[in-house]
Amino acid sequence: MKLIDSKSVLLGLGIGVIITSLLGIIFFTGYKPELSDADIIKHARKIGMVDRYESGSDIRRKEDGSLIFIIHEDERFTDVSKRLYDAGIIESSIEFEIMIKKDKLEDAITPGEYTISYSDDTRTIIEKITTN
């Protein structure tokens, strides 16, 4: 004698998943966050939270949440890669260096100030800082 039929368990799980999905859709329909990234940063400054990009002179945060990254005249691509990785802008310095070497852009990095958005990927950052 079986206490619980396996078909009943699967049917119950399926119905539960469907009901949960429908409730999630109903709940999140029309939902918009109350604060943008720039608003959160502004409020954090007001209450004295430290922004790790404000103390350094080579990386500064703009009001919209993007970063200004400064590349100096004497920096090599490996130095830039390390600074981007240490700042948390790129996920892997090795990936950055491989992409630079693959495209033969080792000497194409141009000194200057660059605005880097939080949505920029490694390829976009390389396109911004190099001259083709």
Residue 73 phi/psi, 5-degree rounding, is -60, -40
- pLDDT for 74 equals 83
H or E element that contains 61: strand 59-61
- Sheet containing strand 112-116, edge to edge, reads 59-61, 67-71, 112-116
Long-range contacts of the stretch 119-124 (C-beta < 8 A, 24+):
122/90, 122/91, 122/92, 122/95, 122/96, 123/99
Over the chain (132 residues), the average pLDDT of each successive run of 10 is 79 94 90 79 77 62 82 88 87 92 91 87 91 62
The one-letter amino acid code at 112 reads G
Q: Which fold has domain 57-129?
A: Dna Ligase; domain 1 (3.30.1490)
